[in-house]
Each structure stands twice: as C-alpha cells, then as structure tokens.
Chains A and B, each alone.
Chain A
Amino acid sequence: QKEVEQNSGPLSVPEGAIASLNCTYSDRGSQSFFWYRQYSGKSPELIMSIYSNGDKEDGRFTAQLNKASQYVSLLIRDSQPSDSATYLCAVSGLEAGYSTLTFGKGTMLLVSP
C-alpha cells in the first residue's frame, strides 16, 4: 500500500513569514509530485508540480524534491491570510501506461494578520 504522510497541523504562521509544509512518501518508484490547495468546503486546486530532484519556483511558492530521502516540501514566502487552507501532497507512479495519485491527508495552514 503506497503511503503519503503529512503533519495534520494546524501550522500557524504570521503574515509575511515563510510557511514550510512537508511530505514523505513510501513508494521509491514514484515519479511525479504535486501540491494541492483546498479551501474549506471547496475542491482541491493544483498549485505546484515537480518531477526531478531540486527546487522549482513559481511566484511565492517553491516546491522541493529529494527522491533519495523520499521527501517533498512546499515553501510559501510572504504568507498571506488568503493562503490559509489545507495543503495536500500527492504522489504518482506510472502503472500500465496511466497514473494514479495517492494523496496525503493534508496540512492545515493558518496565516494570522
């Protein structure tokens, strides 16, 4: 059974700080890694994807991947109250030509003004 682990939180940070969200996964064959943001009562929204070791930056978001440690993280710089949401880590392998995602249970982020 593939597993994706996240700290459930809540992670509380003040406005303007850096929020660091972490995720570990069990399947060494995983190839694609995603971060989703989910506001309360809404569906998940894809915000970042990363496929190779290292950092990938998109605006205030940076995804980091370390396949040797089976670890992926999301940094949010200059955190805003509107970033308050649950962040889901998802990991994908490739099986029989198609892929399925395994999701972590999510980390709740609270950004205080």
Chain B
Amino acid sequence: DVKVTQSSRYLVKRTGEKVFLECVQDMDHENMFWYRQDPGLGLRLIYFSYDVKMKEKGDIPEGYSVSREKKERFSLILESASTNQTSMYLCASSSLGGRGLFFGSGTQLSVL
C-alpha cells in the first residue's frame, strides 16, 4: 500500500513563527502535492513538485514556500505564520501520469 506520512497530526504555532510541515512517501512517486482544506472552500492546491528540486505554484501559493531535496520528501514552509493560515494541510503523492492522488493523514495547524 502507498504510504504518505505527515510528521505531525496537530500543530499549534504563534503568529509570525516560521513553520515547517514535513511529508514523506514510500512509493517512489514522482509527483508530490500540498493542499489545504477549509470548511466551505474545499481542497485548494498550494504547491506541487514533479521532480526533485522542481516546484510549481498551485492556486494559493502566497505566504508559503516548498522544498524538495529528495524524491521521497516534500516540505511546506510557512515563512511567517498568520491566523488565516489556520487550516488542515494535506500532503499527497502520485506516480508519473497521475492516476489518482494518495493522501497523508493531514496536519491540523492552528496559528494563534
């Protein structure tokens, strides 16, 4: 089975802090994605990567950056956390050609 592991299930941070969310997949997938999910707004794509050291902006990249130094690991960085970044963050991966995404269990981030 595909396993996508997110480092934290719940996270509480202060406004202005730099926040790192880590994601690791064990299926040698080329593509990795970061989404956020908010009630009433659904899933929104923040960033994705289709290769090591490559990154592409999604629909809502403002306030975020990413890093992909190794194929299996994709990190989401909140440069200066703000309260409007309180959300459920979901990491996902897919193989080349993208026959469906496989999601991690999610990180519920609260910024106070």
Selected from B41, B50, B90, the residue in CB contact (under 8 A) with A98 is B50
Say whether A49 contacts B106, CB under 8 Å: no
Considering only residues 71-110 of chain B, those with a C-beta below 8 Å from chain A are 90, 94, 96-106
For B41, what are the chain A residues with a Cβ–Cβ distance below 8 Å? 105
Say whether A32 contacts B96, CB under 8 Å: no
Selected from A34, A98, A100, the residue in CB contact (under 8 A) with B100 is A34
For B58, what are the chain A residues with a Cβ–Cβ distance below 8 Å? 100
> In terms of DSSP, what is the predominant structure of the interface of chain A?
strand
A68-92 to B contact mask, C-beta < 8 Å, 1/0: 0000000000000000000010101
Selected from B33, B102, B105, the residue in CB contact (under 8 A) with A42 is B105
For B102, what are the chain A residues with a Cβ–Cβ distance below 8 Å? 46
Closest to A99 in B: B98
Say whether A43 contacts B96, CB under 8 Å: no
For A101, what are the chain B residues with a Cβ–Cβ distance below 8 Å? 45, 98, 101
Say whether A104 contacts B42, CB under 8 Å: yes
Say whether A99 contacts B97, CB under 8 Å: yes
Closest to B48 in A: A100
Selected from A34, A90, A92, A105, the residue in CB contact (under 8 A) with B40 is A105
Say whether A106 contacts B42, CB under 8 Å: yes
Closest to A6 in B: B42
Interface flag for A44 (CB, 8 Å): yes
For B43, what are the chain A residues with a Cβ–Cβ distance below 8 Å? 44, 88, 103
Say whether A49 contacts B90, CB under 8 Å: no
Minimal beta-carbon separation of B2 from chain A (angstroms): 9
Most A CB atoms within 10 A — which of B96, B101, B102? B101
Minimal beta-carbon separation of A43 from chain B (angstroms): 4
Point out residues on A near B: beta carbons under 8 Å. Answer: 32, 34, 42-46, 49, 88, 90, 92, 94, 97-101, 103-106
